[in-house]
Chains A and B, each alone.
Chain A
Amino acid sequence: MLERAGVPAVSICTDAFVVPARAMADVLGHPDFEFVTIPHPIASLSPAEIETAVRQVVDDVARILTTP
C-alpha cells in the first residue's frame, strides 16, 4: 500500500506467517513480492531479544528498500 503511494517499504513477518504472507501477496497481484522473515515469536520477546532479531535482517531490509 505504501509503495503504491510511492513510499519505499518492506514487510517483515515472523516465519510462522510465511504462508499467509505469500497468499496475501498473490491475492494482491504481486506473487513475487519480497518480504523479510524473522524467527517466531516476537510478541513475548524482551527489547534486547527484539534488537537481536532485527540486527539479523537489517541488511535485507536495506537491500529491499534500495532495490527498485
Chain B
Amino acid sequence: MTAAPELPVVDVEESRRVVEDYYARGWTDGLPVMPVSESILADFLAQTRRDPDEVLLDMPHLSRECTVRLAAINAAMAGCLPEYFPVVLAAWSALKAEGYVPRAIWQSTTGTASILLVNGPIRERIGLNSRSNVFGSGFRANATIGRAIRLTAINAFGLRPGELDQGTQGNPSKYSACIAENEEESPWTPFHVEHGFDPAASTVTAMTMRSVAHIEARHTQVPEQLALDLADTIARTGALIHETISACIALGPEHAALLAREGWTKDDLRRFVYEHAVNTRERLTAVGKDAVSGKTRWRLSSAHSEAVPDSDPDADVVKVLGSQAAAQIIVAGAHNAGVSAVIETFGPRGGPPAIAPVESAS
C-alpha cells in the first residue's frame, strides 16, 4: 500500500481568494490561473539569456507588444514549469515568423488559434505528449505551453472575446493547442529534420489553425484508399474561403506505417494529395464558390458582381491546394488504430513552415 502524500499546509480559502482576484481582473481564459510572484517570475526569466524587455512580437495596429517578461508572467499563470519557458519563447519566435498573428488573425471572425508542433529531445525532457490523445487533454507540458500563448493573447494584447477578438465561433484550440511529433513511431524523417534542422535540435513550429478534422480509415492497407480519404477531407468545399487553402496532415503511426510499408515517402503522399484534393467545377458551382472576388480573391459565385474567374477557369476539376508545399505532413498519436487527422491551417501558404529552435539558457 502506498502512503498518502503529505498534504501541504496552506490556507485554502486564501489561495482561492488569490485565484478569484485574477478572475476579477479578467486575467483568465475562463479556467483558474496560477498566481505569480516576483520570485516565480525570476525562475522563468532565469531560463533564458534574453533581456526581459526584449519584444517578442508586436501588433502595431493595437500599439501593443509582448515582451519576454510578459510571456514569462503568462506562462507562469498558465501553469507552465520554468523549464518549459524556452519552448514558449521558441513558440513566439515561430509565431512571429509565421506572420499571421502580427497581422491580427487572432482577432478575425474566422476564429483561428495557433497550434504549436514541438520536435526534438525537449519533448522527452519536459514530458510533452506525442502519442495517445495528442490533441486532447492530460499532459501538463502540452496543456500549459499552449495555454501560455492564449493567456498572453488575452492579457498582453487584450484580445478578449466579443471585444478585440471577434471570432464568430472560435474553436477549442483557443484554450490550448500544443502537440509533439511522434518521431519514435514515424517511419520517416522528423518534421524539423525535413526542414533542415539537426535531429538533436529541438524546435517549435507555429501554424494558424481553423479546425482538426478526424479521419477514420481502419479498413484498408491500400495507400491510395487512405490517401484519397485524406485528400477528400482537405478538399471539402466548406473549408474554401480563399481560392486555395492549406493543411497539415497529422498521420497516426499506423497510417504512416501503412504508407511506408508500401514504399511511400512524405513527398509521395504530398504529391498524391495535391493531385487529388479537388472539386469538380459543377460542385463548386453548386455551393456558389466557382469564381473569386476580384478584390479579395475569396471564393464566391460567378454570378456575383465582384466575380472574376479563378486561376484555372477552364479546368473541370479544380485543385484546392496551390502547391504541393501547401500540405505539410507530421506523425502524431498512438500506434493503436487507423486514425489520422487533417489540421486545417489558415491561408494558402506553400512556402517553408515557421520553425524556431528552442534555445537553452546555458
Distance in Å: Cβ of A9 to nearest Cβ of chain B: 16
Cβ proximity bits A37-48 to B, threshold 8 Å, 1 near / 0 not: 000000000010
Cβ proximity bits A5-35 to B, threshold 8 Å, 1 near / 0 not: 0000000000001011001100110000000
Contact present for A24 and B164 (CB under 8 Å): yes
Name the one of A17, A19, A27 contacting B63, with C-beta atoms under 8 angstroms.
Answer: A27
Cβ proximity bits B163-192 to A, threshold 8 Å, 1 near / 0 not: 110100000000000000000000000000
Name the one of A17, A27, A28, A47 contacting B166, with C-beta atoms under 8 angstroms.
Answer: A17
CA distance A24 to B64 in the complex (A): 12
Residue of A nearest to B160 (CB): A23
Distance in Å: Cβ of B303 to nearest Cβ of chain A: 10
Contact present for B305 and A27 (CB under 8 Å): no
Contact present for A27 and B162 (CB under 8 Å): no
Give chain A residues whose Cβ lies under 8 Å from the Cβ of B62.
27
Q: Which residue of A23, A24, A28, A47 has the most chain B CB atoms within 10 A of its CB atom? A: A23
Give chain B residues whose Cβ lies under 8 Å from the Cβ of A23.
158, 163-164
Q: Which residue of A17, A24, A27, A47 has the most chain B CB atoms within 10 A of its CB atom? A: A27
Distance in Å: Cβ of B65 to nearest Cβ of chain A: 13
Q: Which residue of B64, B158, B163, B305 has the most chain A CB atoms within 10 A of its CB atom? A: B163
CA distance A28 to B64 in the complex (A): 10
Residue of B nearest to A1 (CB): B61
CA distance A17 to B164 in the complex (A): 10
Give chain B residues whose Cβ lies under 8 Å from the Cβ of A28.
63
CA distance A20 to B163 in the complex (A): 4
Give chain A residues whose Cβ lies under 8 Å from the Cβ of B158.
23, 27
Name the one of A17, A24, A47 contacting B305, with C-beta atoms under 8 angstroms.
Answer: A47
Distance in Å: Cβ of A59 to nearest Cβ of chain B: 25
Residue of A nearest to B107 (CB): A20
Give chain A residues whose Cβ lies under 8 Å from the Cβ of B164.
20, 23-24, 27
Give chain A residues whose Cβ lies under 8 Å from the Cβ of B107.
20
Restricting to B280-322, which residues have a CB under 8 Å from any CB of A?
305
Give chain B residues whose Cβ lies under 8 Å from the Cβ of A17.
166
Q: Which residue of B158, B166, B305 has the most chain A CB atoms within 10 A of its CB atom? A: B166
CA distance A19 to B158 in the complex (A): 14
CA distance A19 to B163 in the complex (A): 6
CA distance A20 to B160 in the complex (A): 10
Interface residues, chain A, with chain B CB atoms under 8 Å away: 17, 19-20, 23-24, 27-28, 47
A sample of 19 inter-chain contacts (CB < 8 A) reads A17-B166, A19-B162, A19-B163, A20-B107, A20-B162, A20-B163, A20-B164, A20-B166, A23-B158, A23-B163, A23-B164, A24-B164, A27-B62, A27-B63, A27-B64, A27-B158, A27-B164, A28-B63, A47-B305
Q: Which 7 A-B pairs have the closest CB atoms?
A: A23-B163, A20-B166, A23-B164, A27-B62, A47-B305, A19-B162, A19-B163
Extra pairs beyond A17-B166, A27-B63, A47-B305 (7, CB < 8 Å): A19-B163, A20-B162, A20-B166, A23-B158, A24-B164, A27-B158, A27-B164
